[in-house]
Structure 1
Amino acid sequence: MSTDGWRQFGLYGADDTPDNVHGKNALGRALEDALERRIIEGGIKSPATTRRGLAARMRYLTNSPVGYAAMTAAGITAARKTIGRWKKGTQRPNPANLEKLDTAYWALRAHKVLNNLGAFKQHLYNHGAGTVVEIHPVNQAPVLPSRRRDLQMRTLTVRYVWDSAVDAMKEGDVDALKDIWDDIIAEMDSDWGAYTYVSHIGLGA
C-alpha cells in the first residue's frame, strides 16, 4: 500500500474492519484500559465472601464519610450499628448485602483512583524510564492484495507525553490525543505514516 494510501485511509479497503482506528482513538482506549487495570490490580484480592476480604472492605468503606456514601449508593440500608457489627466481625452480612458491599468498595476504589490521576501519570512516567507502547498495525485482510504492505508490530518506549495524554483522555480531547499520537510515531523510521491508523495499542503499565 502506498504512503498516499495510508494518508487517505480506507482508499483500498482498510476501513472495512472496525479493528482499524486512528491512533488517537486507540491511545485513548489503551489509557482507559491501563487505568482500569490499575484500579483492579491495586485493589483487595480476597473475595468479599471470605472473612479476610469482608474485613478489608469494611475497613476501607468505614474509614471516611465517602465510604458510607458509597454504601448508601450501592443500596445498603443497614443501620450504623449493624454496619459496626459487620466491621467487628460479630455479625455477617447476608449474601445480598455482601454483593452490595463489594459494589460499594469497587465504586469507591475507582472514584479515588480517578480523582488522583497524578499518581497514574507518575506510574506511566515511571521515574523517567517511561512506558512501553506496543503498536499493532492495521488489519490488512480487507485491503486489496496489491496494496498491502509488510508491517510488523512495533514497540516504543515513550517518556514525556503522559501528563498531556492523561489530561486529554480525561477531557475526551481527541485533537490533543491526535497531536500526541503524531509525536509518538514521529520517533519511528520512514514508515511512521503507516502507523497513523492501527488495529490496537497496548501499554506496558
Structure 2
Amino acid sequence: MPDRNLEFGKYGAQGIKGHEAVARQLDRLAGFIATPVTARRGLMARLHYLTRTPHARAAARDAGLTVTDRTLKAWLDGKRQPTRQNLERIDAAYLTVRRANVSRHLLARLNRQGRGTRVEFHPLNQSQVPRPRQRVIDYRTLNVRRWDRIVEAWAAGDEGALDEAWVNDVVVDLGSQWGEYEYVTAIGFAA
C-alpha cells in the first residue's frame, strides 16, 4: 500500500486533496444560499433560515450565533446592520446548521439502501510536470456504499476526520494504486 504524498506539487502537478473535492461536491448537493452574506438579500435569507423556528434558533446559538433576540429583530427589520465579525458568525452558523439539517437526507440519498453511489475520480493535472516525470494516471470510477463516516465528518466540519474517512473507506478500495488518487482535479458524483 503506498504511503501518503509528502511533497505534492514538487514537480508541478496541480490538484486538491480528494476529501476537499468531496466536501465541495457535498456542499453543492446541500444547496446553500448562493447570494453572499454581505448582500442584503443573502443576509436576510440566512437570518430567516436561522430564526424561523425555536429549534433553528437553538441550533444557531449552538453553532456560535450568540446575539440577543432584540439584536436579531433589529437586523431582520433593517434597523441595524451586523458588524463584519457578526456577518462571519452568521455565515458560519448558517453553514453549520444547514449541513446538520441536510446530512440525514443526503446520507440516505448517497447510500441508496445499500446500493451506493458511483463516484468519478478525475486525476490530477500534470500539464506543468516535465515529460519524463509524468505518470500515467487513468480516470477511475468506484461505487461507494458506505457514506456514513464521510457525511458525518462533513456535517461536523471536521477536515481531519473527513480526510481519514475518505482515504480509509473509499480511496483504498481503488487497489494498490490508491495513492495516485489522494490528490485529484475533481471528484464527481450525483445523488
Could you say whether these structures have the same fold, taking a TM-score greater than 0.5 normalized by the shorter chain as the test?
A: yes
Secondary structure in structure 1 of the residue aligned to 2:141: strand
Amino acid at match of 2:23: L
- Alpha-carbon distance between aligned partners in 2 of 1:132 and 1:16, rounded to the nearest angstrom: 21
Q: Which residue among 85, 104, 118 is the counterpart of 2:107?
A: 118
Amino acid at match of 1:110: R
Report whether the alignment pairs 1:107 with 2:96: yes
Amino acid at match of 2:135: L
Query: Equivalent residue for 2:188?
Result: 204
- Alpha-carbon distance between aligned partners in 2 of 1:98 and 1:128, rounded to the nearest angstrom: 38
With structure 2 as the length reference, what TM-score do the two structures score? 0.60
Query: Equivalent residue for 1:156?
Result: 140
Secondary structure in structure 1 of the residue aligned to 2:67: coil
Q: How does 1:42-57 map to 2 (within 5 A)?
A: 42-57=31-46
* Shift in Å, 1:111: 2.2
Query: Equivalent residue for 1:76?
Result: 66
- Alpha-carbon distance between aligned partners in 2 of 1:183 and 1:204, rounded to the nearest angstrom: 17
RMSD of Structure 2 on Structure 1 (CA): 4.2
* Shift in Å, 1:56: 0.6
Answer with 1 or 2: which has the greater Rg: 1
Secondary structure in structure 2 of the residue aligned to 1:76: coil
* Shift in Å, 1:176: 9.9
Report whether the alignment pairs 1:58 with 2:41: no
Would the alpha carbon gap of residues 30 and 120 (structure 1) be closer, same or farther in structure 2, given more than 3 Å must change? farther
Query: Equivalent residue for 1:167?
Result: 148
Kept in 2, the 8 Å contact 1:133–1:203? The answer is yes
Of residues 56-65 and 104-113 in structure 1, the stretch that sits farther from structure 2 once superposed is 104-113
- Alpha-carbon distance between aligned partners in 2 of 1:175 and 1:105, rounded to the nearest angstrom: 24
Aligned length: 163
Would the alpha carbon gap of residues 99 and 85 (structure 1) be closer, same or farther in structure 2, given more than 3 Å must change? same
